[in-house]
Every structure is written in C-alpha cells, then in structure tokens.
Amino acid sequence: MKHTAMLFLCSVLIAGTASAQDDAAREALVRTDQAWSAAAAEGKDIEKVVAFWTDDAKVVPAGAPVVSGKAAIREFVSRSFATPGFHISWKTLDAEVSADGTMGYTTAESTITMPGPDGSLVTETGRGITVWRRQSDGSWKCVYDTWNHGPEPAAETH
C-alpha cells in the first residue's frame, strides 16, 4: 500500500512539473510572437524583424510565391517596408509546443495595410500559422510562416 501511494505521488509530481514546463514553453513562444509583431508593426528595423526566422525558413504569403531562406526573406521584408503606406501587425491567438519542447506553432489574426490597385490604401485582415523551432539557446525561431486572407470584418450595427 505504501509503495502504491508513493508511486502515485511521484507520478502526480512529474505530471505537475511537465505541465508547468509546457506552460512556460508556451508562454515563451507567445511572448516571442508578440515581440515579433511589435517589431514588424514598428516597420523600421528590417534586421530585427528578419532575426525571428531561421536561416532555412520558408514564408508562404497569401497568393504569392514561396520565399525560401533568410536572404530572400530579408529582401521580401525590405520591399514590404519600402512600400508607401505598408503596415502589418498581428495578434497571437493560440500557441502549442511539442511534448519534447523542440517545436511549436502559433496562430494569429493579422491586419495588413498596403496600396490597392488604384493606389489608395487598403487594409486586409488575415489568419496565419507559424511553425517554430526551439534553438540550442532556448529561444524560438520561425521555420515556416504562412497566412491567408480572413473574412471581412463584420459591419457594425447600431
């Protein structure tokens, strides 16, 4: 009886520790994604934004070709930031981390403003998913980033 109780207590403690570690990893991932959104929304420091991707990352923009590797991503971000009126931000909705803590993903709702076909600024909403890999120093870096166009915002009713 004493042995069974001790095994139960140990399993509860291990589960509690794993849960706390999972929560801490998920919170770190959310903080990283939020810091990335803040850097992108600021729109000034290309290197700060690009630093969130791994060297082998892929970006899959809605309706556009895949952008592969950090050099190509840097060019993509540079062109975006150089576009008059361009602005991007997103809100992290969810985050999950693999059981071994090496991979994770975040989902987000985004807002992108850019010139439309007639040159006037257009704001689009979107939804995205980002796949992250934990680095040897414990930081998170994006390995795969994709989004699509979200539904139009609901019209306000009065």
pLDDT for the residue numbered 154: 58
Rounded distance, CA 70 to CA 91, Å? Answer: 23
Rounded distance, CA 154 to CA 125, Å? Answer: 11
Rounded distance, CA 59 to CA 34, Å? Answer: 18
Under a CB-based contact definition with an 8 Å cutoff, are residues 136 and 118 in contact?
Answer: no
Q: What is the mean pLDDT of each run of 10 residues along the chain (158 residues)?
A: 51 48 90 97 96 98 94 97 95 96 96 92 94 96 93 58
pLDDT for the residue numbered 152: 66
pLDDT for the residue numbered 2: 57
Report the alpha-carbon angle 32-55-135, nearest 5.
45
pLDDT for the residue numbered 42: 95
pLDDT for the residue numbered 150: 76
pLDDT for the residue numbered 54: 98
| CB-based contacts of 86, cutoff 8 Å, min separation 6 | 43, 80, 112, 113, 114
Domains along the sequence of the chain with CATH: 2-149 (3.10.450.50)
